[in-house]
C-alpha cells in the first residue's frame, strides 16, 4: 500500500500540472526571446536602471550559469542573471531581469510577505528534509503519531509555498509598472513581458497545487493505515 496504491494518481496529476507550467514558461520565454527591445536595453542594463532609480546602488548584478536560473540573493545583496538573460536585449530577458530587480525593491521597502518568507527559510529547509522520512518511518513502525508529525512538517513547506505566491506576483507587478513608467518597453513589448512573467508565476501556482495534492495523499494513506 505504501509504494503501490491508488493515491499515486494525485502525485501523477501534480507532476502533470508542474510539467505543463514548465513547458508554458519555456515556450513563452523562447517566443519573446526573439522579440528585441526597440530601445536595445540589455537585461543587465534594465536591472541596473531599475535598481539605481530606486536608490539601490549597492545591489550588484552578476552572471550565473544555466538557463532561466535568474534570481535575487538577499544574503549577498546581488542579482544573478543567467547566461541566456544578462546580455540579451529581448523582451523576455528584460522582463525576467526586471522581475528580479522587483525582488530587490521588495527587500528595500520591507515588503511584509517577503520578510515572512525569508524568516521561514531555515525552518522550512528542516521540514522539507525530514517530513517524508518521518512519515514513512511512522507507517513502517505503525506509529501513527510519528506519521502525523511528518504530515504536519510537510504542511509547513506547503505554507511556505503559499506565502511565496504573493511575493512572486508582486515582484512581477512592480517589474511591469517600472518598465512601463520608464518607457524601457513600448506597449506591445510590455504585453510580451507580461506573458513571460505570468507564465513564470504559473510554475509557482502549479508547485503549490502539486504539494497540496501530495499532502492530501499523505493524509489519505495515514487514515487508511489507521483504519487497518
CA–CA gap between residue 102 and residue 107 (Å, rounded): 9
In which region does residue 203 sit, left (phi positive, over 0), alpha (psi from -120 to 50) or beta (all else)? Answer: alpha
CA–CA gap between residue 218 and residue 85 (Å, rounded): 39
Give buried/exposed letters for 90-116 (b at 16+ CB in 10 A, else e).
Answer: bbbbbbbbbbbbbbbbbbeeebebbee
CA–CA gap between residue 169 and residue 46 (Å, rounded): 19
Active-site residue (options: 100, 187, 188, 189): 100
Q: What are phi and psi of 58, to 5 degrees?
A: -85, -10
CA–CA gap between residue 169 and residue 103 (Å, rounded): 10
Q: Has 188 been annotated as catalytic? A: no
CA–CA gap between residue 178 and residue 181 (Å, rounded): 5
Tell me the catalytic residues. Answer: 100
Amino acid at each position: 500500500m505504501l509504494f503501490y496504491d491508488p493515491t499515486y494518481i494525485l502525485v501523477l496529476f501534480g507532476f502533470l500540472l508542474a510539467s505543463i507550467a514548465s513547458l508554458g514558461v519555456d515556450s513563452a520565454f523562447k517566443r519573446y526571446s526573439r522579440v528585441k527591445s526597440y530601445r536595445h536595453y540589455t537585461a543587465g542594463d534594465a536591472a541596473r536602471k531599475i535598481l539605481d532609480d530606486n536608490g539601490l546602488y549597492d545591489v550588484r548584478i552578476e552572471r550565473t550559469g544555466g538557463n532561466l536560473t535568474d534570481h535575487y540573493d538577499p544574503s549577498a545583496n546581488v542579482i544573478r542573471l543567467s547566461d541566456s538573460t544578462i546580455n540579451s536585449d529581448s523582451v523576455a530577458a528584460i522582463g525576467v531581469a526586471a522581475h528580479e530587480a522587483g525582488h530587490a525593491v521588495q527587500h528595500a521597502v520591507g515588503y511584509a510577505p517577503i520578510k515572512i518568507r525569508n524568516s521561514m527559510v531555515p525552518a522550512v529547509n528542516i521540514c522539507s528534509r525530514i517530513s517524508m522520512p518521518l512519515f514513512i518511518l511512522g507507517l513502517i513502525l505503525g506509529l501513527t503519531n510519528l506519521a502525523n508529525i511528518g504530515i504536519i512538517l510537510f504542511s509547513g513547506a506547503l505554507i511556505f509555498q503559499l506565502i511565496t505566491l504573493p511575493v512572486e506576483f508582486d515582484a512581477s507587478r512592480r517589474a511591469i509598472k517600472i518598465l512601463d513608467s520608464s518607457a524601457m518597453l513600448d506597449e506591445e513589448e510590455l504585453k510580451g513581458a507580461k506573458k513571460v512573467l505570468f507564465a513564470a508565476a504559473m510554475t509557482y501556482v502549479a508547485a503549490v497545487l502539486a504539494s497540496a495534492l501530495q499532502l492530501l495523499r499523505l493524509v489519505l494513506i495515514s487514515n487508511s493505515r489507521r483504519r487497518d
